[in-house]
Amino acid sequence: MTQRKGTREEWLAARTELLEREKELTRRSDQLARERQELPWVPVDKEYTFESNDGTKRLADLFEGRSQLLVYHFMFGPSVEGWPEAGCPGCSYTADSLDGAVVHLPYHDVTFVAVSRAPLERLNAYKRRMGWSFPWVSFGESDFNLDFAVFTEDERRSGKGFNFGTAKHGDIDLREQELHGLSAFALEEGVVYHTYSTYDRGTDALNATWQLLDRAPQGRGENFEGWPRRHDEYEAAAVRTAGNA
């Protein structure tokens, strides 16, 4: 596509018109945030356990004394072909943005934790490799991801109802395969409530790189072959490319 060129005056007129639509989007986004907070809270009756660096914890323990909890469902299985010793590249790409942001959450009564099926020792090793500091726990063989992928009872183990039935991923068994997402919980008078979950493009806003690219001259583009990578793999890729030149 040939990009339209113009004068500063033409740019300013077009930019001012676009600003009105950006402001409209901001107002709508604020309204959606309020609507998220108005969703009914559902009590979590099932018991889940997680292996952490401080020992075995229940879901209520993950709040760390606060009233709100955000959980990132990080794709890292116990033995997944292609990344047996590393987490999903896409989740790692998002985690780079999360790591710098979540340090502020405890001071707003919010705890953040990433959860994965992989054993704790593998999570810790990968976390050291990536240089992340956020808490990360293993839910092992429990049904935590199954239950909070928000499938219908008949579909949740096949994957056909992923993202509330709006995204079709074929026959996915979450006991063997992985999908990412974010879930929110509240703790009130000793009761844990599930308040919100989002998946697929609903997690875009968590990733600062996507937001920056959306404001770059050519946006996100359409070619994602070999990109994004884990952040420590770009230099190695550049070396390999130079070696083949």
pTM: 0.85
Domain assignment of residue 98, yes or no: yes
For residue 171, the model assigns a pLDDT of: 55
- The predicted pLDDT at position 122 comes to 93
> What is the predicted pLDDT for the residue at 224?
86
Question: Token pair for residue 4?
Answer: 């339209």
Question: Range of 65's domain?
Answer: 42-206
Residue range 78-84: mean pLDDT, rounded: 61
CA–CA dist 215, 211 (Å, integer) = 7
- Taking the C-alpha atoms of residue 92 and residue 231, their distance in angstroms, rounded to an integer, is 8
What are 234's two structure tokens?
């770009």
The Cβ-side half-sphere exposure at 218, using a 13 Å CA radius, reads 5
Which pLDDT score is estimated for 187? 98
pLDDT in tens, 178-233: 678 999 999 999 999 999 999 888 889 999 999 999 999 999 988 888 899 999 99
pLDDT, averaged across the chain: 86
Average confidence (pLDDT) over 77-88: 71
* Within a domain: 142: yes
Residue 238: predicted pLDDT: 56
pLDDT beyond 90 at 53 = yes
How much of the chain, in percent, has pLDDT values that exceed 90? 65
Q: Residue 135 is part of a domain; what is its CATH number?
A: 3.40.30.10
Q: Cα(111)–Cα(64) distance, rounded to whole angstroms? A: 7
Rounded to 10 deg, the angle between the 89-101 and 120-130 helix axes is 70
Q: How far apart are CA 5 and CA 217, in angstroms?
A: 13
Which pLDDT value is given to residue 245? 47
* Sign of the CA dihedral with 82 first, then 83, 89, and 90 last: positive
Please give the Cα distance from 127 to 147 (Å, whole number): 25
In a domain, residue 30? The reply is: no
Structural domains of the chain, count = 1
Candidate from 95-99, 146-150, 154-158 with smallest mean pLDDT: 154-158
Residue 154 lies in a domain: yes
Is residue 109 in a domain?
yes
Q: Has residue 36 been placed in a domain? A: no
pLDDT tens-digit map of 123-138: 999 999 999 999 999 9
Q: Rounded to a whole number, what is the distance in angstroms from the first to the last CA of the chain?
A: 29
